[in-house]
A and B are shown apart, each in its own frame.
Chain A
């Protein structure tokens, strides 16, 4: 079967990559549905319960944006290191990506604690409900991304499934990680800045 599969590739794009792009398209619609619900109720609801700017913790969220974007850069560097066959550099950049993912979750947890101590909870107001739903779902995606990245790191060091000749799965992990990053780039201004 695998020999037939190899001959049948009409577009030249690997199946896995195409599948990952399609999966991300559906993820866009998932977050698109939630974000448009947020925008509609934020602009249309008579009691949305938007808290004062000082309670939002904008500096921490800005730092988190920086952390996530840096991790995307290190992901790209990890892929290029793998393609060049520089395995130690790949390992270091992947470790940096994974660490930054954990740092993001840590800052997020601090923010949650801060919000709850200020009285903003998932039931306190519509804003609170949306805040915890949107960022919570995003955090779940970050956790999923970290798991994927750890898998890619381990396989890259083993060199069987992922190696300089076959960096495909590393690339898919990168696509997913960038997507998680992009979602945050939309969440951040919509929740904190506007």
Chain B
């Protein structure tokens, strides 16, 4: 602790902390717990998909009667678990891990700042997020259960659904507020608090990724807030923003003024949710760039191309949202426009991936565990990205859109892409967090098992999708043409269970290494960026003296130097 500050109490230091590092770790632990919660929902659903109508083994009889009477999952509960899986994984799991945890911990260190620009707002951001998570999980206590209209909450289904949906909207408003606080803080910090000499084009790629992400969150999330306000009023005040005239439910006409548009919700939702996709992937790309430059011991290939592509993706991501809605019956002339922008946005994504792959060329690669995760990201994100192309064209999208192909596509992007990179980030920055290393051998075992089982779950989804298996089906065998691919469901469910068991390696390794791991020096990876120029773990206020930056972020293997890394803050 810095001697100029009074000694904080336990509560001030670890619970209501203003220190960006503690807040980052709070975000990390909380979001990891939510990831496991969301995953366990999916395990229950996967049992139903593999063995429709069979009682769930082991935990089936512990589940309450309205979810699984006699251990057999009911269709409504299947929908609820599906909706909550998506919501929890995206808004409470991956985004808080990529942005809240790494952004908070690493961004101020990488720019040489003592803390975030607004520490109090930062603490608020975490606690509002935490409240949002509690509200979301609390919706399981609602009469009729939690939201069951999918994570997209399409109207009018969501407007007429039970009270869990109202709680879902309130939870979303909490999460939107939290990300608003966070993104303002990140942007002001990155714009104003860079160390002397740290110009924009000397920033590490990770900082650039966080800046673009923060802009996306700042600009896109309020539109979902607008949509949420309208849906909330539709549900509680009897308005009809999303209710068309003459809507008949269960044979009873709805007594409302009507005149609203169900498609309006989809537009408002996807205007957020497509930039959200890039919120999920950009921090992961930033982490991979950091690890790759460090592991190959050479400068990144095309630093400026990567940064430019990220900015371009950020801009263009606001003009592609309707490719999620080709099936909703939009005008073909409009669909053409969105097909075009979708094809254009794939160019910078491919440019980033190509630069990252070319960064490997001619490097003397050190295969330490963070590098494995980063290398795993490259082909996996490649599969995820390339399978997205057929979904950007209306012709192929109309066949594929409501099938498992779409599920396979975005899980390849978000799980084998983002999550693998985020796990790599945890391993890479673990010595910074705790001054200790995670066990290298167990990390490697965890990586290989994880990547195998992830592919075991998601690859068959493409086969199922092309065979015509629809998404959101409670019982796939209900359609005859699905029966032929039903054995793949058993394989996928077994992979999912194995993946869950594999994660226990990571969890045990994480907590064991936190207390008992091998101690490391300040800069165990011999990295160049500023976060390694302060002690590990950094004290309150981070840097003992203000660092000055003399060069770009990835000066590895510079000819004529005795060491193969040249820290940004070294004056000679």
Seen from chain A, the residues whose Cβ lies within 8 Å of a Cβ on chain B are 1, 4-5, 7-11, 13, 15, 18-19, 22-23, 25-27, 29-34, 37, 40-41, 44-49, 122-126, 128-130, 133, 137
Contacts and interface: CB of A to CB of B under 8 A. Distances in A.
28 contacts: A4-B541, A8-B192, A8-B196, A8-B546, A13-B192, A15-B192, A18-B187, A18-B191, A19-B188, A23-B180, A26-B184, A26-B218, A26-B222, A30-B222, A33-B268, A37-B230, A37-B268, A45-B259, A47-B257, A49-B257, A49-B259, A122-B237, A123-B238, A123-B256, A125-B259, A129-B233, A129-B237, A133-B229
Interface in B179-206: 180, 183-185, 187-188, 191-196
Nearest to A35: B226
Q: How large is the interface on B (under 10, 10 to 19, 20 to 34, 35 or more residues)?
A: 35 or more
B38 interface: no
User: Which has the most chain B C-beta neighbours within 10 Å: A23, A34, A49?
Assistant: A34
A32 to B, nearest CB: 7
Nearest to B227: A33
Given A13-B192, A23-B184, A124 B257 contact: yes
Contact of A41 (B112, B256, B264): B264
B39 interface: no
Q: Give the secondary structure class of A's interface.
A: helix
B456 interface: no
B555 interface: no
A129 B259 CA distance: 11
Interface in B115-162: 115, 117-118, 121
B226 to A, nearest CB: 3
A11 B194 CA distance: 10
B439 interface: no
A48 to B, nearest CB: 6
B113 interface: yes
Contacts of B196: 8
Interface of B: 112-115, 117-118, 121, 180, 183-185, 187-188, 191-196, 218-223, 225-227, 229-230, 233, 237-241, 245, 256-261, 264, 268, 271, 541, 543, 546
Contacts, number: 143
* 4 closest cross-chain pairs (CB), A and B: A33-B226, A129-B239, A30-B222, A33-B223
A25 to B, nearest CB: 6
Given A15-B192, A125-B259, A30 B223 contact: yes
Nearest to B540: A1
B259 A41 contact: yes
B115 A129 contact: no
B223 A19 contact: no
Given A4-B114, A129-B233, A25 B541 contact: no
B299 to A, nearest CB: 24
Nearest to B198: A10
Given A49-B259, A133-B229, A15 B117 contact: yes
Contact of A32 (B187, B192, B223, B261): B223
A31 B543 CA distance: 41
A20 to B, nearest CB: 9
A31 B183 CA distance: 19
A4 to B, nearest CB: 5
A40 B262 CA distance: 12
B271 A33 contact: yes
A9 B218 CA distance: 22
B229 A40 contact: no
Given A8-B192, A49-B257, 9 more contacts: A22-B183, A22-B184, A30-B223, A30-B226, A33-B225, A48-B259, A122-B239, A126-B239, A126-B257
Contacts of B219: 25-26, 29
A23 B112 CA distance: 25
Contact of A40 (B180, B221, B226, B264): B264
A15 B268 CA distance: 31
B115 A1 contact: yes
Contact of B261 (A15, A25, A26, A40): A40
Contacts of B218: 22, 25-26
Contacts of A5: 114, 193
Nearest to A123: B238
B315 to A, nearest CB: 15
Contact of B229 (A1, A34, A49, A122): A34
Contacts of B226: 29-34, 37
